[in-house]
Amino acid sequence: MKLHELTNVPGAVHRHKRVGCGEGGGHGKTSGRGGKGQTARSGGSIRPGFEGGQMPLYRKLPHRGFNQASFRVEIAVVNVGDLSSLDAGLTEVDAKALVTAGLIRPGELKVKVLGDGEISRPLKVTAAKFSESAKKKIEKAGGQAIVA
């Protein structure tokens, strides 16, 4: 199939409605807008939830509950196996080094190190959190896990 062979599905393309072209066309006089009033005018629309000046339902009902989403702290996750793939000359690993290596996004300064994978060389790893298995693997390889 080539671009010039593509066609629309039957019924996908409609002829545009020609309004205001006389009564015989079926869309004359008010052009399908009903009678008079706000909605008959150009640019006239009523926002969702508006009930004509009556106290709207969303204001009548009580608002309850609380949401913790605004207090949530995003933590980037890095595995021990990812640390072993870092540059061989690197001995100290922190958030900036992980951003440079492309393991976390810039701006993610809180990092948690998880224990998936293996590490064979000693690294001094500085992060916000460590899982128990990650801490054991880093210290077993001769490195340090520093909580900052």
Q: pTM for the complete prediction?
A: 0.56
Sign, CA dihedral 115-117-121-124, equals negative
List the chain pLDDT tens, one digit each, 148 residues: 999 999 999 999 999 999 999 999 899 999 999 999 999 999 989 999 999 999 999 999 998 899 999 898 889 999 999 998 898 888 999 999 999 999 999 988 899 999 999 999 999 999 999 999 999 999 999 999 999 8
The string of pLDDT tens digits covering residues 80-106 is 999 988 988 889 999 999 999 999 999
Structure-token match 């060389």, residue found: 121
Third-level CATH fold of 85-147: Ribosomal Protein L15; Chain: K; domain 2 (3.100.10)
Domains of the chain: which residue ranges?
85-147
| Residues 33-57: b if buried by 16+ CB within 10 A, e if exposed | beeeeeeeeeeeeeeeeeeeeeeee
24-to-14, 17, 29, 43 alpha-carbon distances in Å: 20, 14, 10, 26
